[in-house]
Structure 1
Amino acid sequence: MTPKQIDRFCASLPAATRIVQWEGVIVFKVGGKMFCLIAPEDHSIGRISFKSAPEHYDALSRSPGFRPAPYLARAKWVSVDDPKALTDAEMKAYVRRAHAVIAAALSKKKRKELGLAPTQARFKPFRTASVPLAHAHERAGRSRSGRA
């Protein structure tokens, strides 16, 4: 896909908004949260960058044609310098998934305001801990104050 085709595809996704910022970078958002960036050629962030599902980030960021997105890698974003390296179906699938991951992280109220059906936001946001914070401290042999 060309960047223009990706631009049109992103704009077609439910509740997607488009703005231009950061030296001409096209930013697509859902609910005010970014899910895809389309940068001018030779921009430092890469030609196309998008949010990856957290559970797929490590494998995807090491795959041929992908790299961790500069400035956004800690948030599990990847960049593709040559969008033509992927088939149209692959690029659409990655961008659609990025949109779904961000939409799923929105509050139920926000999703309802945007008209996003539960099936359009079916991916649960990533959680780093499966036990409450107080229990995590106790398991580590410390109280909430950090003392043993």
Structure 2
Amino acid sequence: MTRDEFNSFCAGLPASTNVVQWGNASVWKVGGKIFAICSSWGSEGEQRVNFKCSDMAYSMLIQEEGIVPAPYLARAKWVRVEDPDALSKEDCCAYIKAAHAIITAKLTRKQRQDLGLAQTS
């Protein structure tokens, strides 16, 4: 998944916002909380996608070649896709959509209401 594809997909998620920070990383948030990051690494500016995931998804994904615990965020169950071939674009999008849902569920009822997001139980 390219950075442009990443940004385009994240922009389509409800109430998502984007900031560029941390040395040109594209940081996507919902309700002010981060759910996905695309950053450049190395001298060639290779793109790395990072996202929050469920406990089960985290356990499965870090077993895959080319996917590692995200530096500084692994304790919160974040992964980094280091090899662009490690996940198909469709799978990457599905995980990012799930990350958005995980973070949305952690928002208060009022925050979700203010953002126009569906109530979760």
- TM-score scaled to structure 2, two decimals? 0.89
Alpha-carbon separation, structure 1, partners of 2:39 and 2:16: 17
Superposed CA offset, 1:97-147 (max 9, x none): 0000000111111001000113xx57xxxxxxxxxxxxxxxxxxxxxxxxx
What is the root-mean-square deviation of aligned Cα atoms in Å?
Answer: 1.7
Residue matched to 2:32 = 32
Aligned residue pairs total 118
Greater strand proportion:
2
User: Contact 2:65–2:86 (CA<8 Å) still a contact in 1?
Assistant: no
Offset of residue 55 of structure 1: 3.1
Superposed CA offset, 1:58-96 (max 9, x none): 222222221000010011100001334322210110100
* Aligned: 1:3 with 2:19: no
**Structure 2: stretches of 5+ with no match in the other structure:** none
Higher relative contact order (CA 8 A, sep 6+): 2
Task: Detail structure 1 runs of 4+ shifted over 6 Å in the superposition.
Answer: none
Larger Rg: 1
**Structure 1: stretches of 5+ with no match in the other structure:** 123-148
Residue matched to 1:88 = 89
- TM-score scaled to structure 1, two decimals? 0.74
Greater helix proportion:
1
Percent identity between the two aligned chains? 47
Residue matched to 1:15 = 15
